[in-house]
């Protein structure tokens, strides 16, 4: 083999390797976390609070949270096990338990992203380390102030086979963090959840993350009621009174629903 032919073959091999490495590197970079650090407001000992990290998939593959682990038993990870479609987002986070942990803390969640190839899950890119920081006070949480747009609400008409998720937005209008401890619907047996909402890059809507959230001063939150007509429920208009309790003066909301 002549030197020119050898050099030509080597250049071709180098080019192919370069293309492979470039493609592999680009594949790794086609998803990203909108933020890798979450800083809590002051927590108060005994509270459980959530952190949320949003991942955006800009690849052509359906991705998954392949492995999610926390650095501490006080931090319980949560994440969606559904596939993250191309162009969509999903979220991963952790419930931090502050009991017996006063003072400054820094914890982490390690996340590995994967995709399925021939039915087998393979890792995509490097492991990501998501950081949670904050301070836990041994004092009692100071009183906050909660504000609703209206105290009298109409949830609309609900038919037999329909489930309605009725949103009740609120705002922390005080100077301290707001934490809801209970949404008491006085025996009406209505399922509910509450907390902050996070902007989604996947649907344009705001995916909801539930209980144990601390709503910061000036932030908005939401209570979501799950309304469904049961077989034993008669048609007609009903008034449900709901007490919202927390580190603020209890607020009573009236919700009118019509079962048809």
Range 54-83 average pLDDT: 92
Of the ranges 76-80, 88-92, 124-128, 209-213, which one carries the lowest mean pLDDT score?
A: 209-213
Residue 106 forms beta bridges with which residues? Answer: 133
Whether residue 256 is predicted with pLDDT greater than 80 in this model: the reply is: yes
Give percent above pLDDT 70 in the chain. 83
CA–CA separation, 12 vs 121, rounded Å? 32
pLDDT digits (tens, 9 = 90+) for 206-219: 455 555 678 888 98
Helical (H) or strand (E) element with 28: helix 3-29
Instruction: Give residue 224's pLDDT.
Output: 86
Could you give the residue ranges of the DSSP H alpha helices within the chain?
A: 3-29
Of the ranges 23-37, 126-140, 179-193, which one carries the lowest mean pLDDT score?
A: 23-37
Structure tokens at 219: 């932030």
- Which residues are CB-contacts of 248 (< 8 A; sequence separation ≥ 6)? 143, 144, 145, 146, 174, 178
- Closest to 134 in 3D by CA, of 28, 49, 235: 49
Of the ranges 17-26, 70-79, 173-182, which one carries the lowest mean pLDDT score?
A: 17-26
Class of domain 146-259: mainly beta
Whether residue 35 is predicted with pLDDT greater than 50 in this model: the reply is: yes
Please count the helices (runs of H) and the strands (runs of E) in the chain.
1, 17
For the chain, give every domain's residue range. 30-137, 146-259
CATH topology match: 30-137 vs 146-259: yes
Of the ranges 46-55, 196-205, 218-227, which one carries the lowest mean pLDDT score?
A: 196-205
CA–CA separation, 239 vs 141, rounded Å? 33
Whether residue 145 is predicted with pLDDT greater than 90 in this model: the reply is: yes
Instruction: Give residue 132's pLDDT.
Output: 94
Of the ranges 78-87, 120-129, 155-164, 225-234, which one carries the lowest mean pLDDT score?
A: 225-234
Q: Does domain 30-137 have CATH number 3.20.20.10?
A: no
**pTM (2 decimals)?**
0.68
Of the ranges 13-27, 136-150, 208-222, which one carries the lowest mean pLDDT score?
A: 13-27
CA–CA separation, 105 vs 90, rounded Å? 26
Instruction: Give residue 134's pLDDT.
Output: 92
CA–CA separation, 126 vs 6, rounded Å? 36
């Amino acid at each position: 083999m002549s030197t020119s032919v050898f050099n030509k073959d080597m250049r071709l091999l180098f080019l192919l390797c370069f293309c492979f490495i470039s493609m592999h590197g680009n594949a790794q970079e086609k998803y990203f976390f909108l933020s890798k650090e979450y800083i809590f407001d002051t927590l108060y000992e005994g509270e459980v609070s959530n952190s949320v990290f949003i991942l955006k998939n800009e690849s052509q593959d359906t991705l998954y949270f392949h492995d999610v682990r926390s650095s501490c038993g006080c931090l319980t990870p949560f994440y969606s096990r559904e596939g993250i479609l191309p162009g969509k987002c999903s979220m991963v986070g952790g419930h931090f338990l502050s009991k017996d942990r006063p003072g400054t803390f820094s914890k982490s969640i390690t996340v590995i992203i994967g995709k399925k190839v021939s039915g087998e899950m393979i890792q995509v890119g490097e492991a990501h380390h998501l950081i949670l920081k904050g301070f836990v006070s041994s004092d009692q949480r100071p009183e906050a102030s909660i504000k609703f747009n209206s105290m009298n609400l109409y949830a609309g008409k609900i038919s037999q086979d329909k489930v309605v998720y009725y949103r009740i937005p609120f705002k922390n209008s005080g100077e301290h963090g707001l934490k809801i401890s209970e949404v008491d619907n006085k025996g009406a047996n209505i399922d509910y959840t509450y907390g902050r909402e996070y902007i989604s890059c996947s649907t344009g809507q705001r995916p909801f993350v539930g209980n144990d959230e601390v709503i910061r001063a000036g932030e908005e939150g939401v209570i979501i009621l799950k309304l469904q007509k049961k077989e034993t429920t008669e048609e007609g208009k009903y008034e449900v009174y709901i007490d919202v309790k927390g580190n603020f003066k209890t607020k009573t909301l009236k919700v009118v629903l019509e079962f048809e």
